[in-house]
Amino acid sequence: MSRKLDVRALANPSCPAPLASDRVVLAHGAGAGASARLLEACVFPHLDNPWLRERHDGAVLDLGTSRLAFTTDTFVVSPLEFPGGDIGSLAVHGTINDLAMCGARPLALSCAVVLEEGLPLETFERVMRGLAEAARRVDVPVVTGDTKVVERGKGDGIFINTSGVGLVAAGRDLRPGRVAPGDAILVSGPVGCHGAAVLSVREGLAFESEIRSDSEPLHDLVEALLEAVPTMSCLRDPSRGGVAAVLHEIARGAGAEIEFEDARVPVTDAVRSACELLGLDPLSLACEGRLVAFVAESEVGAALESLRSHPKGRAAVRIGTVRTGRPRVVVRTALGTRRLLPLPAGDPLPRIC
Protein backbone atom coordinates (compact mmCIF):
# COMPACT_ATOMS: atom_id res chain seq x y z
CA MET A 1 0.00 0.00 0.00
CA SER A 2 2.65 2.47 0.97
CA ARG A 3 4.70 1.18 -1.90
CA LYS A 4 1.96 2.08 -4.37
CA LEU A 5 1.86 5.63 -3.09
CA ASP A 6 5.64 5.96 -3.18
CA VAL A 7 5.79 5.09 -6.85
CA ARG A 8 3.22 7.72 -7.68
CA ALA A 9 5.11 10.25 -5.61
CA LEU A 10 8.40 9.55 -7.34
CA ALA A 11 6.82 9.76 -10.76
CA ASN A 12 5.18 13.06 -9.96
CA PRO A 13 7.13 14.98 -7.34
CA SER A 14 4.39 17.49 -6.64
CA CYS A 15 3.67 16.45 -3.06
CA PRO A 16 0.50 14.37 -3.18
CA ALA A 17 -1.33 14.32 0.11
CA PRO A 18 0.41 11.70 2.22
CA LEU A 19 -2.59 11.28 4.49
CA ALA A 20 -6.28 11.84 4.00
CA SER A 21 -5.54 15.38 5.21
CA ASP A 22 -4.07 18.01 2.88
CA ARG A 23 -2.27 19.60 5.82
CA VAL A 24 0.61 18.54 7.99
CA VAL A 25 -0.79 16.62 10.97
CA LEU A 26 1.06 15.49 14.11
CA ALA A 27 1.27 11.90 12.85
CA HIS A 28 3.66 13.16 10.15
CA GLY A 29 6.21 13.73 12.91
CA ALA A 30 5.64 10.55 14.91
CA GLY A 31 8.31 8.50 13.19
CA ALA A 32 6.02 5.79 11.87
CA GLY A 33 4.19 5.18 8.60
CA ALA A 34 2.93 8.72 8.10
CA SER A 35 6.41 10.21 8.65
CA ALA A 36 7.88 7.87 6.06
CA ARG A 37 5.17 8.77 3.57
CA LEU A 38 5.68 12.48 4.12
CA LEU A 39 9.39 12.06 3.31
CA GLU A 40 8.73 9.78 0.35
CA ALA A 41 6.10 12.12 -1.04
CA CYS A 42 7.36 15.63 -0.30
CA VAL A 43 11.09 15.45 0.47
CA PHE A 44 12.99 12.67 -1.27
CA PRO A 45 11.61 13.40 -4.76
CA HIS A 46 13.14 16.89 -4.53
CA LEU A 47 16.40 15.91 -2.85
CA ASP A 48 17.07 12.47 -4.30
CA ASN A 49 20.72 11.32 -4.14
CA PRO A 50 22.70 8.18 -3.26
CA TRP A 51 23.17 9.18 0.40
CA LEU A 52 19.48 9.83 1.09
CA ARG A 53 18.60 6.67 -0.77
CA GLU A 54 20.33 4.67 1.98
CA ARG A 55 17.57 5.79 4.41
CA HIS A 56 20.10 5.64 7.25
CA ASP A 57 20.39 7.74 10.41
CA GLY A 58 23.18 9.76 8.77
CA ALA A 59 25.21 10.03 5.57
CA VAL A 60 28.75 8.71 5.09
CA LEU A 61 30.80 10.89 2.72
CA ASP A 62 33.86 9.39 1.03
CA LEU A 63 36.66 11.98 1.13
CA GLY A 64 39.27 9.83 -0.59
CA THR A 65 41.63 9.22 2.31
CA SER A 66 38.92 9.10 4.98
CA ARG A 67 35.18 8.75 5.39
CA LEU A 68 33.08 11.36 7.15
CA ALA A 69 29.72 10.64 8.77
CA PHE A 70 27.32 13.60 8.82
CA THR A 71 23.95 13.75 10.56
CA THR A 72 21.41 16.23 11.90
CA ASP A 73 18.46 16.09 14.26
CA THR A 74 15.95 18.55 15.68
CA PHE A 75 14.57 18.37 19.20
CA VAL A 76 11.13 19.67 20.13
CA VAL A 77 10.40 17.58 23.24
CA SER A 78 7.73 18.84 25.64
CA PRO A 79 8.25 19.22 28.58
CA LEU A 80 11.77 20.63 28.23
CA GLU A 81 12.84 18.76 31.35
CA PHE A 82 11.88 15.20 32.22
CA PRO A 83 13.12 12.52 34.63
CA GLY A 84 16.53 11.39 33.39
CA GLY A 85 17.28 14.32 31.10
CA ASP A 86 16.33 17.54 29.39
CA ILE A 87 16.12 18.85 25.85
CA GLY A 88 19.76 19.99 25.98
CA SER A 89 21.37 16.67 26.88
CA LEU A 90 18.93 14.88 24.58
CA ALA A 91 20.05 17.06 21.68
CA VAL A 92 23.64 15.90 22.24
CA HIS A 93 22.83 12.23 22.82
CA GLY A 94 20.49 12.01 19.82
CA THR A 95 23.05 13.26 17.36
CA ILE A 96 25.95 11.36 18.93
CA ASN A 97 23.83 8.20 18.64
CA ASP A 98 22.95 8.84 15.01
CA LEU A 99 26.70 9.13 14.30
CA ALA A 100 27.37 5.98 16.31
CA MET A 101 24.78 4.06 14.24
CA CYS A 102 26.88 4.97 11.17
CA GLY A 103 29.88 3.44 12.95
CA ALA A 104 31.51 6.88 13.33
CA ARG A 105 33.69 8.31 16.08
CA PRO A 106 32.11 11.71 16.76
CA LEU A 107 34.36 14.73 16.02
CA ALA A 108 32.25 17.84 16.47
CA LEU A 109 28.71 19.12 16.92
CA SER A 110 26.81 22.22 15.90
CA CYS A 111 23.92 23.63 17.90
CA ALA A 112 21.16 25.91 16.62
CA VAL A 113 18.39 27.10 18.91
CA VAL A 114 15.02 28.67 18.18
CA LEU A 115 13.82 30.51 21.29
CA GLU A 116 10.31 31.75 21.93
CA GLU A 117 9.87 35.31 23.10
CA GLY A 118 9.19 35.33 26.84
CA LEU A 119 11.20 32.21 27.70
CA PRO A 120 12.85 32.76 31.10
CA LEU A 121 16.60 33.20 30.59
CA GLU A 122 17.10 30.96 33.57
CA THR A 123 15.41 28.08 31.71
CA PHE A 124 17.52 28.70 28.61
CA GLU A 125 20.67 28.71 30.67
CA ARG A 126 19.71 25.52 32.45
CA VAL A 127 19.11 23.78 29.14
CA MET A 128 22.43 25.01 27.75
CA ARG A 129 24.21 23.81 30.89
CA GLY A 130 22.67 20.36 30.31
CA LEU A 131 23.75 20.44 26.69
CA ALA A 132 27.31 21.54 27.53
CA GLU A 133 27.65 18.94 30.26
CA ALA A 134 26.50 16.17 27.89
CA ALA A 135 28.94 17.34 25.20
CA ARG A 136 31.78 17.43 27.74
CA ARG A 137 31.00 13.92 28.88
CA VAL A 138 31.29 12.53 25.36
CA ASP A 139 34.33 14.77 24.83
CA VAL A 140 32.95 16.28 21.62
CA PRO A 141 33.07 20.08 21.21
CA VAL A 142 30.16 22.18 19.97
CA VAL A 143 32.09 24.14 17.36
CA THR A 144 29.44 26.30 15.73
CA GLY A 145 25.89 27.41 16.30
CA ASP A 146 23.06 29.80 15.68
CA THR A 147 20.34 31.53 17.71
CA LYS A 148 16.98 32.78 16.50
CA VAL A 149 14.08 34.23 18.46
CA VAL A 150 10.46 33.96 17.34
CA GLU A 151 7.42 35.85 18.62
CA ARG A 152 5.51 34.56 21.59
CA GLY A 153 3.11 31.83 20.49
CA LYS A 154 5.23 30.91 17.46
CA GLY A 155 7.35 28.32 19.24
CA ASP A 156 7.21 26.15 22.35
CA GLY A 157 9.95 27.55 24.57
CA ILE A 158 13.01 26.08 22.88
CA PHE A 159 13.58 24.05 19.74
CA ILE A 160 17.13 22.76 19.27
CA ASN A 161 18.86 21.46 16.18
CA THR A 162 22.20 19.72 16.45
CA SER A 163 24.33 18.41 13.60
CA GLY A 164 27.34 16.20 14.01
CA VAL A 165 30.30 14.93 12.04
CA GLY A 166 32.44 11.92 12.78
CA LEU A 167 35.06 9.68 11.22
CA VAL A 168 34.20 6.19 10.01
CA ALA A 169 37.03 3.65 10.19
CA ALA A 170 37.98 1.89 6.96
CA GLY A 171 35.90 -1.18 6.18
CA ARG A 172 32.95 -0.25 8.39
CA ASP A 173 29.58 -0.38 6.66
CA LEU A 174 26.35 -0.42 8.66
CA ARG A 175 23.81 0.61 6.03
CA PRO A 176 20.33 -0.93 6.43
CA GLY A 177 20.65 -2.51 2.99
CA ARG A 178 23.28 -4.90 4.39
CA VAL A 179 20.78 -6.74 6.58
CA ALA A 180 20.18 -10.19 5.10
CA PRO A 181 18.03 -13.23 5.88
CA GLY A 182 19.71 -15.26 8.61
CA ASP A 183 20.81 -12.21 10.61
CA ALA A 184 19.93 -12.21 14.29
CA ILE A 185 18.30 -9.20 15.95
CA LEU A 186 19.62 -7.95 19.31
CA VAL A 187 18.50 -5.12 21.57
CA SER A 188 20.90 -3.55 24.05
CA GLY A 189 18.50 -3.12 26.98
CA PRO A 190 14.94 -2.45 28.22
CA VAL A 191 12.87 -0.57 25.64
CA GLY A 192 10.45 2.36 25.77
CA CYS A 193 11.90 4.17 28.82
CA HIS A 194 12.29 7.57 27.16
CA GLY A 195 8.83 7.64 25.62
CA ALA A 196 7.20 6.45 28.84
CA ALA A 197 9.13 9.01 30.94
CA VAL A 198 8.09 11.94 28.75
CA LEU A 199 4.49 10.77 28.43
CA SER A 200 4.08 10.23 32.16
CA VAL A 201 5.29 13.78 32.88
CA ARG A 202 3.18 15.24 30.10
CA GLU A 203 0.05 13.45 31.29
CA GLY A 204 0.80 14.20 34.93
CA LEU A 205 0.86 10.52 35.87
CA ALA A 206 2.68 9.42 38.96
CA PHE A 207 3.78 5.83 39.31
CA GLU A 208 5.13 3.99 42.33
CA SER A 209 8.60 4.20 40.90
CA GLU A 210 9.58 7.12 38.72
CA ILE A 211 10.20 6.24 35.08
CA ARG A 212 13.49 7.74 33.94
CA SER A 213 14.46 8.40 30.36
CA ASP A 214 17.23 6.16 29.04
CA SER A 215 18.80 9.15 27.26
CA GLU A 216 22.49 8.27 26.98
CA PRO A 217 25.30 8.49 24.42
CA LEU A 218 26.10 5.12 22.85
CA HIS A 219 29.31 5.89 20.91
CA ASP A 220 31.48 3.98 23.40
CA LEU A 221 29.19 0.95 23.45
CA VAL A 222 29.20 0.90 19.64
CA GLU A 223 32.99 1.24 19.42
CA ALA A 224 33.45 -1.77 21.68
CA LEU A 225 30.81 -3.74 19.80
CA LEU A 226 32.34 -3.03 16.37
CA GLU A 227 35.80 -3.97 17.63
CA ALA A 228 34.42 -7.31 18.78
CA VAL A 229 32.26 -7.86 15.69
CA PRO A 230 33.60 -5.87 12.72
CA THR A 231 31.21 -7.64 10.34
CA MET A 232 28.09 -6.25 12.08
CA SER A 233 25.36 -5.84 9.42
CA CYS A 234 23.51 -2.80 10.75
CA LEU A 235 22.85 -0.74 13.88
CA ARG A 236 19.76 1.33 14.51
CA ASP A 237 18.76 3.75 17.20
CA PRO A 238 15.08 3.14 18.02
CA SER A 239 14.04 6.72 18.74
CA ARG A 240 10.73 7.96 17.29
CA GLY A 241 8.39 5.04 16.67
CA GLY A 242 10.55 2.83 18.90
CA VAL A 243 11.73 -0.69 18.15
CA ALA A 244 8.54 -1.31 16.15
CA ALA A 245 9.45 1.39 13.62
CA VAL A 246 13.04 0.09 13.31
CA LEU A 247 11.90 -3.48 12.64
CA HIS A 248 9.42 -2.31 10.01
CA GLU A 249 11.99 -0.11 8.29
CA ILE A 250 14.57 -2.87 8.19
CA ALA A 251 12.07 -5.49 6.97
CA ARG A 252 11.08 -3.17 4.15
CA GLY A 253 14.66 -2.14 3.36
CA ALA A 254 15.97 -5.71 3.37
CA GLY A 255 12.90 -7.10 1.59
CA ALA A 256 12.73 -9.80 4.23
CA GLU A 257 10.48 -11.06 7.01
CA ILE A 258 11.42 -10.33 10.60
CA GLU A 259 10.23 -12.67 13.32
CA PHE A 260 10.76 -12.02 17.01
CA GLU A 261 9.47 -13.34 20.31
CA ASP A 262 7.64 -10.72 22.32
CA ALA A 263 8.45 -12.44 25.63
CA ARG A 264 12.16 -11.86 24.96
CA VAL A 265 11.94 -8.09 24.53
CA PRO A 266 13.14 -6.53 27.80
CA VAL A 267 10.68 -4.05 29.34
CA THR A 268 10.96 -2.72 32.89
CA ASP A 269 7.99 -3.21 35.23
CA ALA A 270 7.50 0.55 35.51
CA VAL A 271 7.30 1.02 31.75
CA ARG A 272 5.00 -1.97 31.45
CA SER A 273 2.67 -0.51 34.10
CA ALA A 274 2.61 2.87 32.37
CA CYS A 275 1.85 1.23 29.04
CA GLU A 276 -0.96 -0.84 30.58
CA LEU A 277 -2.47 2.31 32.02
CA LEU A 278 -2.16 4.39 28.87
CA GLY A 279 -2.99 1.61 26.44
CA LEU A 280 0.36 1.81 24.67
CA ASP A 281 2.84 -0.72 23.34
CA PRO A 282 6.38 -0.37 24.79
CA LEU A 283 7.71 -1.44 21.39
CA SER A 284 6.32 1.77 19.85
CA LEU A 285 7.74 4.08 22.49
CA ALA A 286 10.95 5.98 21.86
CA CYS A 287 14.32 4.93 23.31
CA GLU A 288 17.20 7.42 23.45
CA GLY A 289 19.92 5.19 24.85
CA ARG A 290 19.34 1.80 23.23
CA LEU A 291 20.38 0.20 19.99
CA VAL A 292 19.03 -2.56 17.79
CA ALA A 293 21.79 -4.64 16.20
CA PHE A 294 21.52 -6.91 13.15
CA VAL A 295 24.30 -9.46 13.06
CA ALA A 296 25.16 -12.74 11.32
CA GLU A 297 24.17 -15.86 13.25
CA SER A 298 27.81 -16.91 13.68
CA GLU A 299 28.63 -13.65 15.49
CA VAL A 300 25.69 -13.57 17.92
CA GLY A 301 27.72 -14.93 20.83
CA ALA A 302 30.54 -12.43 20.37
CA ALA A 303 28.12 -9.53 19.94
CA LEU A 304 26.11 -10.36 23.07
CA GLU A 305 29.27 -10.88 25.09
CA SER A 306 30.63 -7.51 23.99
CA LEU A 307 27.35 -5.69 24.70
CA ARG A 308 26.87 -7.33 28.10
CA SER A 309 30.38 -6.54 29.24
CA HIS A 310 29.65 -2.81 28.82
CA PRO A 311 27.57 -0.96 31.46
CA LYS A 312 25.22 0.40 28.77
CA GLY A 313 24.50 -3.02 27.29
CA ARG A 314 24.29 -5.23 30.37
CA ALA A 315 20.71 -6.33 29.61
CA ALA A 316 21.33 -7.04 25.92
CA VAL A 317 19.36 -9.95 24.47
CA ARG A 318 18.55 -11.56 21.18
CA ILE A 319 14.89 -11.03 20.29
CA GLY A 320 14.54 -12.52 16.82
CA THR A 321 15.74 -13.34 13.34
CA VAL A 322 15.57 -11.97 9.80
CA ARG A 323 14.09 -14.56 7.42
CA THR A 324 13.46 -14.98 3.74
CA GLY A 325 9.88 -13.95 3.13
CA ARG A 326 7.53 -11.09 2.55
CA PRO A 327 8.68 -7.81 4.07
CA ARG A 328 6.72 -7.77 7.30
CA VAL A 329 7.26 -8.10 11.03
CA VAL A 330 5.88 -11.17 12.77
CA VAL A 331 5.53 -11.63 16.52
CA ARG A 332 5.74 -15.11 18.00
CA THR A 333 3.78 -14.98 21.26
CA ALA A 334 4.48 -16.96 24.39
CA LEU A 335 1.41 -19.05 23.44
CA GLY A 336 3.09 -20.17 20.24
CA THR A 337 0.68 -18.16 18.10
CA ARG A 338 1.92 -15.78 15.42
CA ARG A 339 0.67 -12.32 14.56
CA LEU A 340 1.78 -9.17 12.79
CA LEU A 341 3.47 -6.38 14.70
CA PRO A 342 1.46 -3.24 14.03
CA LEU A 343 3.29 -0.15 12.93
CA PRO A 344 1.84 2.71 14.99
CA ALA A 345 -0.40 4.80 12.75
CA GLY A 346 0.37 8.11 14.42
CA ASP A 347 1.17 9.56 17.78
CA PRO A 348 0.39 7.11 20.58
CA LEU A 349 -3.25 7.70 21.42
CA PRO A 350 -4.74 6.74 24.74
CA ARG A 351 -7.56 4.26 24.45
CA ILE A 352 -10.81 5.47 25.80
CA CYS A 353 -12.40 2.56 27.61
Site of interaction with another protein (CB under 8 A): 1-3, 19-21, 23-27, 33-34, 203, 248, 251-252, 269, 272-273, 276, 279, 326-330, 333-343, 345-346, 349-353
Q: Which residues are CB-contacts of 238 (< 8 A; sequence separation ≥ 6)?
A: 187, 191, 245, 246, 286, 287, 290, 291, 292
When the beta carbons of 85 and 241 are compared against another protein, the nearer one is 241
Of 190, 192, 188, the closest CA to residue 287 belongs to 192
Of 191, 228, 213, the closest CA to residue 307 belongs to 228
Closest distance between another protein and the C-beta of residue 18, in Å? 9
Closest distance between another protein and the C-beta of residue 11, in Å? 19
Of 309, 294, 293, the closest CA to residue 224 belongs to 309
When the beta carbons of 166 and 253 are compared against another protein, the nearer one is 253
| Orientation angle between helical segments 219-228 and 300-308, nearest 10 degrees | 140
Of 184, 207, 218, the closest CA to residue 287 belongs to 218
Of 112, 216, 129, the closest CA to residue 164 belongs to 112
Q: Is the Cβ–Cβ distance between 331 and 265 less than 8 Å?
A: no
Closest distance between another protein and the C-beta of residue 32, in Å? 9
Three-state SS for 296? coil
When the beta carbons of 121 and 340 are compared against another protein, the nearer one is 340
When the beta carbons of 5 and 228 are compared against another protein, the nearer one is 5
Closest distance between another protein and the C-beta of residue 57, in Å? 22
Closest distance between another protein and the C-beta of residue 253, in Å? 12
**Distance from C-alpha of 43 to C-alpha of 58, rounded to nearest angstrom:** 16
Closest distance between another protein and the C-beta of residue 265, in Å? 14
| Orientation angle between helical segments 193-202 and 269-278, nearest 10 degrees | 50
When the beta carbons of 121 and 353 are compared against another protein, the nearer one is 353
Q: Is the Cβ–Cβ distance between 269 and 210 less than 8 Å?
A: no
When the beta carbons of 232 and 247 are compared against another protein, the nearer one is 247
When the beta carbons of 43 and 205 are compared against another protein, the nearer one is 205
Strands 142-150 and 104-116: parallel
When the beta carbons of 156 and 173 are compared against another protein, the nearer one is 156
Closest distance between another protein and the C-beta of residue 3, in Å? 7
Closest distance between another protein and the C-beta of residue 37, in Å? 8
Of 330, 329, 321, 331, the closest CA to residue 182 belongs to 321
